[in-house]
């Protein structure tokens, strides 16, 4: 039952983009007589300026995250936290991913790949990891780029709120996987 729903959803997913790309101009052209080609070009012009405007913010955040990752600081943090986590029933194997998820998309995908290769896709670690990966976003990247694109410097409570949500999401991933799958 669940399997067929997931399959159906991911099957539908293939068609979403092509349907949007054709459907929106179709509606505009036939119902509202919008000059779709001319309007498209006007909108598309902004793509360049926005993409260029976010470069300094991207460099700042990705360099800092890259240095942090390369130093091995995450592994040290992991060693310190492992006993506490095991006590609360949080598998230490999933901690690197939980810590990496808000920092780096490619980094956390790499860690998920490691979990699958090492323990198998059918293992609890891989399933918890995939759930964490799918249920969260790269918080720091999004905050830096979104605020950067409009020049906002004081992010106020955006980071604490985002990290709190990631924290709750990681715990929820462990909880629901253990409850429903094992």
Partner 1 sequence: MMNYIWFGMMLIGVVVGIFTGRIEAVTQAAIDMAKVSVEIAIGLIGIMALWLGVMKIAEESGLISLIARGLRPIMVRLFPDVPADHPAMGSIVLNMSANMLGLGNAATPLGLKAMEELQELNPDKKTATNAMVMFLAINTSSVQFILPATVVALMGGVSSQIFIPTILATTCSTVAAIVAVKFLEKRKRFQLEEPVETDPRDGVSDD
- Binding residues for partner 1 restricted to 73-112, rule: CB under 8 A: 73, 76, 102, 109, 112
Judged by beta carbon, residue 36 or residue 81, the one nearer partner 1 is 36
Q: Are 36 and 123 in contact (CB under 8 A)?
A: no
Q: Are 180 and 135 in contact (CB under 8 A)?
A: no
**Residue 142 binds to partner 1 (criterion: CB under 8 A):** yes
C-alpha dist (Å) from residue 87 to 11, 81, 82, 92: 41, 10, 9, 10
Q: Which of 57, 24, 9 is nearest to 153 (CA)?
A: 57
| Interaction pattern, residues 108-137, with partner 1; x per rule: CB under 8 A | -x--xx--x----xx---xx--xxxxxxxx
Distance CA 66, CA 103 (A): 9
Judged by beta carbon, residue 91 or residue 169, the one nearer partner 1 is 169
**Residue 27 binds to partner 1 (criterion: CB under 8 A):** yes
Distance CA 63, CA 77 (A): 20
**Residue 19 binds to partner 1 (criterion: CB under 8 A):** no
In the set 82, 86, 125, 181, which binds partner 1 (CB under 8 A)?
181
In the set 42, 79, 80, 83, which binds partner 1 (CB under 8 A)?
42
């Amino acid at each position: 039952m669940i399997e067929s729903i997931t399959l159906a959803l991911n099957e539908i997913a293939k068609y979403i983009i092509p349907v949007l790309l054709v459907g929106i101009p179709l509606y505009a052209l036939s119902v509202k007589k919008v000059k779709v080609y001319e309007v498209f070009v006007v909108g598309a012009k902004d793509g360049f300026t926005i993409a260029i405007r976010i470069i300094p913010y991207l460099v700042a955040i990705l360099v800092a995250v890259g240095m942090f990752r390369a130093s091995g600081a995450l592994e040290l943090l992991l060693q310190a936290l492992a006993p506490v986590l095991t006590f609360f029933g949080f598998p230490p194997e999933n901690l690197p991913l939980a810590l990496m998820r808000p920092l780096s998309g490619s980094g956390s995908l790499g860690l998920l790949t490691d979990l699958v290769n090492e323990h198998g896709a059918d293992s609890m670690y891989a399933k918890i990891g995939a759930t964490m990966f799918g249920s969260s976003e790269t918080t720091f990247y999004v905050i830096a780029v979104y605020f950067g694109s409009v020049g906002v410097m004081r992010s106020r409570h955006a980071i604490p709120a985002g990290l709190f949500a990631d924290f709750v999401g990681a715990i929820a991933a462990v909880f629901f996987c253990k409850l429903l799958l094992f």
